[in-house]
């Protein structure tokens, strides 16, 4: 990197962060103005900006924030980072310690605004103990303030739940926000559009349709999922990022449907952590008029419980050999392992139906057959004779594609895989091992 002259201002990155964003907030603009002023006071010129809106400093390290994190991973493009206040950078002593250590290691100066002071707090890589202690003290104060705010919010939400008022957050599907009858605060009332959709969904489920089939129907009808409907009611756009992918709109899945249909909020109950909130006499606290009457809701729960067949359990990391290896020929998507009670083997099935997607030829095959075929094909291609792990298959770019089998069949049960339905390929052949 070329050396900079003593008269040339250093380059600085300006940072803006806000936990909660509303239509009327002016905080980002005020932060920008303060950052510009502080940079000039410290002798730096802003060359870039990292803006994280809707990001908590208490819950998220500076290095993990969507906008700031990538900048911190390329420190060679600036000599300083500027925040309008310490609490815009961190609300944790641990995070401040990490940030100072990073600045020393990368030769980057940290600049913070300090209310009531004429100049910024400048923590350079050569900063003395007094400066570092001041930065840590300010971080501690910000952390304690955050804890106090969190405690007050928790108490406030508990009081709102007890009074049947709406305290913010995702509105239960089937409802919308409305002024509380008392004239103070908010409550929830059925939303005509999504409440009608709930009734249509329930009628289909009670008529015998599976959740997967109903999810597919909803996607074909372009019905908004709860998250998108809530965003629309709040005047925001639909879609967003999930698992690193960006969507214009989210899709219905059987899992999303199950969460909606199992929530007591459909009876007008106030719900906290999935359970009905009760008043001092043990009666449900109501948020508004019910979307479903109690009889319909209980009938629906009984049906969903019967259909679940006792399979509702905590999700565990998969150990299936062919995860990310087996693919469906019908849609090109991955196949996933599904247990088959009470057998020692299961099946690899196309995942599209469970995601509310339509596969023109959804494939499935017994797990022991497909795993045996894949392992033998891998050994034949590589000359290996020892055990084969999923890591081995993925490292070699192994892929097995499964076509849908024909319906029906003859009276003889097959004793192994129909290899005419299978295709095995590899990106590369690793060196052979014995």
Nearest C-alpha neighbor of 336 from the set 425, 346, 389, 345: 346
Helix (H) or strand (E) holding 433: none
The pLDDT assigned to 163 comes to 47
Say how far apart CA 19 and CA 278 lie, in whole Å: 31
Tell me what pLDDT residue 21 has. Answer: 63
Distance CA 388, CA 367 (A): 15
Q: What percent of the chain has pLDDT over 90?
A: 30
Domains and CATH numbers, the chain: 10-146 (3.40.50.1390), 175-308 (3.90.1750.20), 326-407+414-425 (no CATH)
| pLDDT at site 45 | 93
The predicted structure's pLDDT at residue 39: 93
> 271: Cβ–Cβ under 8 A, 6 or more apart, which residues?
172, 263, 264, 265, 277
- Residues 6 or more apart in contact with residue 20 via CB below 8 angstroms: 54
According to the model, what pLDDT value does residue 432 have? 44
The pTM for the full model equals 0.45
Low-confidence ranges of the chain (pLDDT < 50): 1-7, 24, 153-164, 315, 429-434
pLDDT of residue 234: 78
């Amino acid at each position: 990197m070329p050396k900079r002259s003593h008269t040339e201002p250093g380059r600085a990155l300006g940072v803006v962060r806000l936990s909660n964003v509303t239509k009327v907030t002016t905080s980002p603009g005020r932060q920008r103005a303060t950052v510009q002023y502080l940079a000039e006071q410290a002798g730096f010129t802003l060359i870039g900006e990292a803006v994280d809106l809707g990001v908590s400093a208490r819950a998220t390290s500076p290095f993990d924030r969507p906008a700031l994190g990538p900048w911190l991973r390329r420190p060679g493009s600036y000599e300083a980072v500027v925040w309008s206040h310490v609490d815009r950078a961190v609300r944790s002593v641990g995070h401040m310690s990490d940030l100072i250590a990073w600045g020393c290691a990368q030769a980057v100066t940290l600049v913070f605004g300090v209310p009531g002071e004429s100049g910024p707090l400048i923590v350079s890589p050569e900063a003395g103990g007094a400066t570092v202690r001041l930065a840590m003290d300010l971080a501690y104060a910000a952390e304690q303030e955050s804890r106090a705010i969190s405690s007050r919010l928790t108490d406030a939400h508990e009081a709102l739940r007890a009074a049947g008022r709406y305290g913010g957050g995702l509105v239960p599907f089937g409802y919308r926000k409305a002024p509380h009858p008392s004239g103070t605060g908010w409550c929830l009332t059925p939303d005509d559009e999504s409440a009608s959709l709930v009734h249509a969904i329930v009628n289909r489920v009670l008529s015998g349709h599976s959740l997967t089939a109903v999810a597919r129907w909803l996607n074909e009808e372009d019905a908004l999922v709860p998250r998108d409907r809530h965003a629309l009611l709040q005047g925001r756009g639909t879609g967003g990022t999930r698992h690193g992918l960006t969507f214009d709109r989210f899709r219905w899945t059987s899992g999303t449907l199950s969460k909606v249909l199992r929530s007591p909020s459909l009876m007008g109950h106030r719900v906290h952590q999935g359970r009905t909130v009760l008043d001092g006499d043990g009666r449900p606290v109501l948020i508004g008029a019910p979307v479903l009457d109690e009889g319909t809701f209980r009938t629906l729960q009984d049906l969903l419980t019967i259909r679940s067949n006792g399979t509702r359990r905590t999700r565990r990391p998969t150990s299936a050999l062919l995860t990310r290896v087996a693919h469906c020929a019908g849609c090109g998507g991955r196949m996933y392992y599904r247990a088959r009670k009470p057998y020692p083997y299961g099946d690899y099935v196309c995942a599209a139906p469970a995601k509310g997607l339509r596969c023109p030829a959804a494939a499935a095959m017994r797990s022991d057959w497909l795993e045996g075929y894949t392992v033998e094909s891998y050994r034949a291609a590589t000359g290996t004779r020892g055990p084969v792990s999923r890591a081995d298959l993925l490292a070699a770019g192994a892929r097995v594609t499964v076509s849908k089998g024909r319906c029906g069949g003859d009276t003889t049960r097959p004793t192994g895989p129909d290899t005419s339905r299978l295709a095995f390929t590899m990106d590369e052949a690793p060196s052979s091992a014995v």
